[in-house]
Amino acid sequence: MRKVTAGLFSSVDGVVEDPFKWQFDSFDEELGAGMDAMTGRIGAGILGRVGYQQWSEYWPNAEVDEDFAGFINPLPKYVASRTLTGDLAWQNARLIPGSLEEFVADLKQGDGGDIGVFSSISLVRQLLFAGLLDSLMLIVHPVIAGSGRRLFNDGDPLTRLELQSSEQTSKGNLILSYGLRQG
């Protein structure tokens, strides 16, 4: 069975929105290696509408990070959207028909590498609380962002997690992977 994974950059105070505003000075080689290992296991990606629109404008023509562009552009991409219609312009991208949860549950039963959830806080939350997210990697940077959207909110359901792995990098980042605790 394929696993569904997500990785989010986080500040110590839990902000996961716009990490480019606060992560730049703590990015290190170990963090890059961890990200390479994660992307090496991914055989398909899921994006929300906003993430798709932002990434489809940038990555097909990106020259700054050719390694990630070489990974994301040919990757099969499935887009969750209630407003987009028709064929999508980005290479290997298509809309998810019907229920996200049903689509992901079916996709997990197929062949291929892991399924990565990219650029969508709301999809990560939805799949985690639906019991479909197998691994949540939080890359905690040693910074307090002070403001911005957080992954979890007041009123979220009590959800027990178990630590799958942890690593501290030379610049003080913590790479923490969690899964749903069974039982």
What are the residue ranges spanned by the domains of the chain? 4-180
Kindly report the pTM of this predicted structure. Answer: 0.93
Share of residues in the chain with pLDDT > 70 (%): 99
Strands 174-180 and 135-141: what pairing? antiparallel
Tokens 């939080």 -> residue: 138
* For residues 109-129, average pLDDT: 96
**The pLDDT of residue 65 is above 90:** no
Distance of alpha carbon 121 from alpha carbon 48, whole angstroms: 9
CATH domain 4-180 topology: Dihydrofolate Reductase, subunit A (3.40.430)
Say how far residue 37 (Cα) sits from the centre of its chain. Answer: 14
**The pLDDT of residue 64 is above 70:** no
Q: Tokens for 20?
A: 């480019």
* The predicted structure's pLDDT at residue 14: 96
Higher-pLDDT residue of 68, 140: 140
